[in-house]
């Protein structure tokens, strides 16, 4: 059987060989990189492997990651607007969920940490899906785009990104997520723009929810509210 498999692989074109290689190298990713609502994940770096983040994932944890990804992907298919608002990326650490605050469909009221009716619905619905899986550690990040230096918004971008991440934390907890699952709330302002986009692009205005696989070597700690210094 192994001989037949080897002969079949050597006869395939380069695209199929790469897909099979990805499937064995990174079980988080789909064989086909294209998938609606899910950002393709990078290959695990040697640094991540050295830390044991990737290798420490058990079969049960991997199954839960896949299940929660499927559940959220099913939720996103409710509407095209929702698919444009929420995107997921499977990483060696867990599942990264980006919720975008777009001008045409805002999550927050302008320049505030107050949810719009749409944002309230998005986070409440997301919380219902996440609350079903209580073995994940949850980290929340707030991000903004770069504003012109003379813009009033540029002055409080650190406060705004942190306050929005904390508002997301409060909404998740109010909607059923266990408070003890949340371990970190951070504001990054405009220091972490998405790859391939200018820092001034509004797509960088987002809240990120990271569902992390439990690390038995990491001591338990209460939620931390952190604002990264400029």
Q: For 187-205, what is each residue's pLDDT tens digit?
A: 999 999 999 999 999 999 9
The CATH number that domain 44-227 falls under is 3.30.1330.60
pLDDT for 17 equals 47
Residue bearing the bigger pLDDT, 199 or 13: 199
Q: What is the mean pLDDT of the chain?
A: 77
Q: How confident is the model at residue 153 (pLDDT cuts 50, 70, 90)?
A: low
H or E element: which one contains 187?
A: strand 182-187
pTM: 0.71
Q: Which residues contact 159 (CB under 8 A, 6 or more apart)?
A: 187, 227
Contact 172, 226 (CB under 8 A): no
Q: Where are the chain's structural domains?
A: 1-34, 44-227
Q: How confident is the model at residue 31 (pLDDT cuts 50, 70, 90)?
A: very low
Does residue 129 register a pLDDT over 50? Answer: yes
Question: Rounded to a whole number, what is the largest CA-CA distance in the chain?
Answer: 68
What's the CA gap between 53 and 212, in Å, rounded? Answer: 10
Q: How confident is the model at residue 23 (pLDDT cuts 50, 70, 90)?
A: very low
Does residue 32 register a pLDDT over 50? Answer: no
Q: Which residues contact 2 (CB under 8 A, 6 or more apart)?
A: none
What's the CA gap between 221 and 230, in Å, rounded? Answer: 25
Does residue 7 register a pLDDT over 90? Answer: no
Q: How confident is the model at residue 229 (pLDDT cuts 50, 70, 90)?
A: very low
What is the b/e burial string over 139-162, where b = at least 16 CB atoms within 10 angstroms of the residue's CB? bbbbbbbbbeeeeeeeeebbebbb
């Amino acid at each position: 059987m192994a001989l037949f498999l080897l002969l079949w692989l050597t006869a395939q074109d380069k695209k199929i060989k790469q897909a099979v290689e990805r499937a064995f190298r990174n079980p988080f990713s789909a064989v086909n990189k294209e998938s609606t609502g899910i950002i393709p994940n990078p290959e695990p770096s040697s640094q991540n492997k050295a830390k044991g983040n990737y290798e420490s994932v058990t079969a049960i944890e991997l199954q839960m990651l896949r299940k929660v990804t499927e559940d959220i992907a099913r939720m996103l298919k409710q509407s095209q607007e929702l698919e444009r608002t929420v995107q997921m990326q499977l990483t060696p650490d867990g599942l990264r969920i980006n919720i975008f605050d777009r001008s045409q469909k805002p999550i927050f009221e302008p320049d505030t940490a107050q949810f719009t009716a749409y944002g309230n619905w998005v986070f409440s619905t997301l919380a219902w899906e996440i609350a079903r899986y209580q073995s994940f550690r949850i980290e929340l990040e707030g991000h903004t785009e770069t504003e012109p230096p003379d813009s009033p918004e540029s002055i409080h971008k650190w406060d705004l990104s942190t306050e929005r991440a904390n508002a997301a934390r409060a909404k998740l907890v109010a909607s059923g997520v266990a408070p003890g699952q949340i371990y970190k709330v951070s504001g990054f302002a405009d220091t972490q723009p998405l790859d391939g986009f200018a820092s001034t692009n509004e797509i960088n205005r987002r809240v990120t929810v990271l569902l992390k696989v439990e690390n038995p070597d990491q001591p338990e700690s209460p939620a931390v509210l952190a604002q990264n210094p400029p």
